[in-house]
A and B are shown apart, each in its own frame.
Chain A
């Protein structure tokens, strides 16, 4: 029965995808991509991948939509007409051939959920056993992500860090209300008057979103959660404040210097925890030497690196939002 629901959701996903490609109005495609991300999150949830679904929900539906809309505010409303018809025919042929090759390659896949599949044999059961005795936390995904494959997660944090730096290089010059010679002086207070109810309700919700973000951060070891999702949620709370009260007031809450400190600080924290492993006589990113009891030390290491991930993701998402918003006076 779950398969039928999955098939329904996938059909809706397909229809949404076709509609996104079909439409020429960019705003419609932004809205539809928000819906796409929702349906995808529901699908991931159905496949029992809760961490991925949580990240997709937190990043794809809220923050991605906000960033795409602020980019739209600076650019055009309609898609540019394609230059020539032959380009489209070539593109169609390439996509069709790739699709057929991919479909052909799925004939060799093992059946869905087959316990004898190759991917479930080699290292999967080892992780499931070793987590209980070496790290002792219920969420195996966080254990694999943070401890067994911590090096890969270090790479991911640095990728997020690089993305933040890249956006700041391209768009970081503040054209906001504090820059000299800027035509937009401040947000007009008249407009906000009609939006009293969203302001009141939004301001009531912001502390809860922040608290929930902290809950997700520290609860990553017991349920779905972790650094990436928590960073996205905390950034979403500050973005909500910026939307309601104006971007300059949000910059007073978390100034640009603090944002840059957050971006670098999180990655630095992660790297330092790794280096501590070397200083205390063992390998890089080996948390067992952080304390006398190895299980306790592994859990401490996990908490520290997840904090590092959360801090960097918050800083990067907020910086990207401010970089876009300052440009278009969003």
Chain B
């Protein structure tokens, strides 16, 4: 049982690490600001889920698991919000690309 828990948490954490690395590589190599935000923001949500689940399996039913759960909830709440705020600020400041054009509703008259 111990072995199974150890192996599962190792798999989860390594998978989380792989996603973290993919996100970092994406943020460095993507061609444009918004695509970089895409890479960083998406992997910032999946990686904590995997890594913190792996750690919770290691910690068992103690106070540390509650704290880890709190960390996970806060990361999942604030990560996408930061991405949204950043993208919205960049868009409002006028950083345009070919893919990100402002939405101009068709005029009715």
Contact = CB atoms under 8 A, between A and B. Distances in A.
A205 B77 contact: yes
Interface in B45-91: 74, 77-78, 81-82, 84-85, 88
A77 B84 CA distance: 26
Interface residues of A, number: 9
B92 A198 contact: no
Contacts of B78: 201, 205
Q: Which one of A201, A202, A208 has the greatest number of beta carbons of chain B within 10 Å?
A: A201
User: Taking chain B's interface residues, is the majority helix, strand, or loop, or is none over half, making it mixed?
Assistant: helix
Contacts of B84: 197-198
Contact of B77 (A194, A195, A204): A204
A197 B79 CA distance: 12
B74 A194 contact: no
Nearest to A197: B84
A204 B92 CA distance: 25
A49 B7 CA distance: 31
A205 B77 CA distance: 9
Given A205-B77, A205-B78, 18 more contacts: A194-B88, A194-B92, A195-B85, A195-B88, A197-B81, A197-B84, A197-B85, A198-B81, A198-B82, A198-B84, A198-B85, A201-B77, A201-B78, A201-B81, A202-B81, A204-B77, A205-B74, A208-B74
Interface of B: 74, 77-78, 81-82, 84-85, 88, 92
Interface of A: 194-195, 197-198, 201-202, 204-205, 208
